[in-house]
A and B are shown apart, each in its own frame.
Chain A
């Protein structure tokens, strides 16, 4: 979307607003504010509880903290390992999203633009994965990953309780969506530029990385955003595949465990602090990149 268009529509909107600030507009904003409150209040409430004392948390939910207790945050950070979990999540999601996009776009590109005998079957194999419930595969998947741990040399890096293993599984389970989506995208790209490159003597690989991939950028961004969100949210797969080594856990596991912990240790303040720590960076990152994220999402989905 060109900036000029945005600017134009902004000025248009401004004119529009001046023209009619009638009762309808008030109602519109009232309705929008209701949902805003619904979204924001639980989050703000969590932040507030994170600086309350234990007594205040057990007291009236809407009371304000008498003093701001940052020691809750320190406790959550040290004891609950939130920092470690977050770093783990970032590592896993960064690697797996990169891997997903690389492998997914390669497969999608070939399947979309180089038809050969059986290519359609492979395409269907990938796409059919979209409809499989992951819960069906859970048990056998556990044993597959465990057996991979026995592979010579690389085994120790991709077995159970390794980030490598989890990353490979994330990639594999993100491929159906990625391939399906990107294949559709690659099909729509014009072939002229690629042909010109071939005439210049470029290899297929080079054409892919230097011509086609850049051309597919809107689609790539949009799928990347989807994959990051999806993999960041994963709870089920790490629950099964990363169980026994706490220091490798991802954030979702960590938060769920802290919630179970609070049942025994009764450190509710630290629970809220940990929750806030899990929420805050995501919101900050999102707010910084929100326009790219929203554009990316809609560019793909509306195509």
Chain B
């Protein structure tokens, strides 16, 4: 018993000081109009939340988060499954996969090892609207209007989504490839004897057996979608712009806390984000329970 306490005391202390205490405080700060250390916080009840209801920018941010919450996992998982399937030739290739599959797996994973802030700066240049932008240069050369990847309010959020998918896919390709490789080859062979080709085999064997892994991926990506910050903050004009067309909850929290010094209001936003995250977790739990065969 003394051993157990000895092993736990440091991690728990650290965790309570740096994680639990700040979270707990955040909830009470959300009920004040606190604007700085020296202005003593005044209790305002649910005033911040009432204001939040009317804050169109914040709800825009919520909408963007929800859009990402749906699309980021769907796109990433579909693309990753597709490539994992190709790499393993539908599983028939066993652990080896198609020729060069090792090379592809290594390259696809590249974006994962780059820091998000680095990726944000990189794509800022890729997306430039003039002749010096990687994507717009050929368009302009062919006589088209350049696309405002980050400057058109109708496009900017899709550019963000594109970069997020670009970064995430490689990880799941690797994950799913390993998953497919671990499926017993006899299953595929049996299916092949039954005359199943590539795609049917994918839907009848690969997909069901990967389902657990896919769900894990969905939860991870969902949490990433709710926590998007650096890519928006570093890459977009007006930090979440133009005209708030790419802003997300985390960016609004940061803006209100550290730029407008509205700590109380920002904490209220944080509380809302918190309940979204919890809600998402609860939803994921329910969905996964319904479909699982317990064993």
Question: How far apart are the CA atoms of A195 and B268 in the complex, in Å?
Answer: 51
CB distance from B228 to the nearest CB of A (A): 11
C-beta contact mask, A236-261 vs B, less than 8 Å → 1, else 0?
Answer: 10001000000000011101101100
A16-B92, A255-B118 known; A45+B18 contact, CB < 8 A = no
Contact between chains at B89 and A45 (CB < 8 Å): no
Question: How far apart are the CA atoms of A278 and B117 in the complex, in Å?
Answer: 10
Query: Which A residues lie within 8 Å of B92 (CB)?
Result: 16
A45-B126, A137-B22 known; A179+B95 contact, CB < 8 A = no
| Residue in B7, B115, B171, B227 whose beta carbon sits within 8 Å of that of A133 in the complex | B227
A residues in contact (CB < 8 Å) with B:
1, 5-6, 9-10, 12-13, 16-17, 24-25, 28-29, 31-32, 35-36, 38-43, 45-46, 49, 57-62, 103-104, 106-107, 109-111, 114, 116, 119, 122, 125-126, 129-141, 144-145, 148, 168-169, 171-173, 175-176, 179, 203-205, 208, 229, 232-233, 235-236, 240, 251-253, 255-256, 258-259, 271-272, 275, 278-279, 282-283, 285-287, 290, 293-294, 297-298, 301-302
Query: Which A residues lie within 8 Å of B87 (CB)?
Result: 32
| Residue in A138, A179, A290 whose beta carbon sits within 8 Å of that of B11 in the complex | A179
| Residue in B17, B89, B120 whose beta carbon sits within 8 Å of that of A256 in the complex | B120
A32-B104, A61-B136, A301-B213 known; A107+B12 contact, CB < 8 A = yes
| Residue in B7, B79, B86 whose beta carbon sits within 8 Å of that of A109 in the complex | B7
Contact between chains at B113 and A229 (CB < 8 Å): yes
Contact between chains at A129 and B22 (CB < 8 Å): no
Segment from B44-52, B186-194, B249-257, B287-295 that makes contact with A: B249-257
Contact between chains at A278 and B115 (CB < 8 Å): yes
Contact between chains at B166 and A39 (CB < 8 Å): yes
Contact between chains at B25 and A172 (CB < 8 Å): no
Q: Which of A10, A114, A138, A258 has the most CB of B within 10 A?
A: A138
A1-B95, A144-B18 known; A28+B7 contact, CB < 8 A = no
| Contacts of B1-60 to chain A: CB distance below 8 A | 1, 3-4, 6-8, 10-12, 14-15, 17-23, 25-26, 29
Contact between chains at B270 and A135 (CB < 8 Å): yes
| Contacts of B174-216 to chain A: CB distance below 8 A | 174-175, 178-179, 182, 198, 213, 216
| Residue in A116, A129, A135 whose beta carbon sits within 8 Å of that of B19 in the complex | A129
Contact between chains at B274 and A256 (CB < 8 Å): no
Contact between chains at B11 and A294 (CB < 8 Å): no
Question: How far apart are the CA atoms of A109 and B182 in the complex, in Å?
Answer: 28
- Interface residue? B62 (CB, 8 A): no
Query: Which B residues lie within 8 Å of A5 (CB)?
Result: 95
A42-B134, A45-B126, A106-B11 known; A233+B116 contact, CB < 8 A = yes
Cβ-closest chain B residue relative to A236? B229
Contact between chains at A144 and B17 (CB < 8 Å): yes
CB distance from A294 to the nearest CB of B (A): 5
- Interface residue? B148 (CB, 8 A): no
What are 11 A-B pairs at a CB distance below 8 A? A12-B93, A25-B98, A35-B83, A42-B134, A61-B132, A62-B137, A103-B10, A130-B223, A136-B267, A278-B114, A279-B114
| Residue in B96, B234, B250 whose beta carbon sits within 8 Å of that of A259 in the complex | B234
Query: Which B residues lie within 8 Å of A168 (CB)?
Result: 14, 18
| Residue in A43, A172, A287, A294 whose beta carbon sits within 8 Å of that of B14 in the complex | A172
CB distance from B265 to the nearest CB of A (A): 11
Contact between chains at A35 and B99 (CB < 8 Å): no
Cβ-closest chain A residue relative to B137? A61
| Residue in B4, B216, B274 whose beta carbon sits within 8 Å of that of A132 in the complex | B274
Query: Which A residues lie within 8 Å of B179 (CB)?
Result: 298, 302
- Interface residue? B143 (CB, 8 A): no
Cβ-closest chain B residue relative to A172? B18
Contact between chains at A110 and B109 (CB < 8 Å): no
| Contacts of B104-140 to chain A: CB distance below 8 A | 104-118, 120-126, 128, 131-134, 136-138
Question: 15 extra interchain contacts, Cβ-Cβ under 8 A, other than A28-B98, A31-B82?
Answer: A39-B108, A57-B132, A107-B7, A107-B12, A114-B3, A134-B227, A138-B270, A140-B26, A173-B19, A252-B115, A252-B230, A255-B118, A271-B121, A293-B109, A294-B178
Contact between chains at A252 and B116 (CB < 8 Å): yes
Question: How far apart are the CA atoms of A272 and B170 in the complex, in Å?
Answer: 24
Query: Which B residues lie within 8 Å of A251 (CB)?
Result: 115, 117-118
- Interface residue? B271 (CB, 8 A): yes
Contact between chains at A302 and B182 (CB < 8 Å): yes
Contact between chains at B95 and A9 (CB < 8 Å): yes
Contact between chains at B117 and A253 (CB < 8 Å): yes
Contact between chains at B98 and A235 (CB < 8 Å): no
A38-B166, A131-B278, A298-B174 known; A45+B134 contact, CB < 8 A = yes
Contact between chains at A175 and B124 (CB < 8 Å): no
CB distance from A131 to the nearest CB of B (A): 5
Question: How far apart are the CA atoms of A135 and B83 in the complex, in Å?
Answer: 34
Contact between chains at B18 and A133 (CB < 8 Å): no
Question: How far apart are the CA atoms of A172 and B15 in the complex, in Å?
Answer: 5
Contact between chains at B115 and A232 (CB < 8 Å): yes
Cβ-closest chain A residue relative to B276? A133
Question: How far apart are the CA atoms of A114 and B7 in the complex, in Å?
Answer: 11
CB distance from A159 to the nearest CB of B (A): 13
| Residue in A59, A145, A229 whose beta carbon sits within 8 Å of that of B131 in the complex | A59
Contact between chains at A282 and B113 (CB < 8 Å): yes
Question: How far apart are the CA atoms of A36 and B107 in the complex, in Å?
Answer: 7
Contact between chains at A301 and B3 (CB < 8 Å): no
A144-B22, A279-B114 known; A35+B169 contact, CB < 8 A = yes
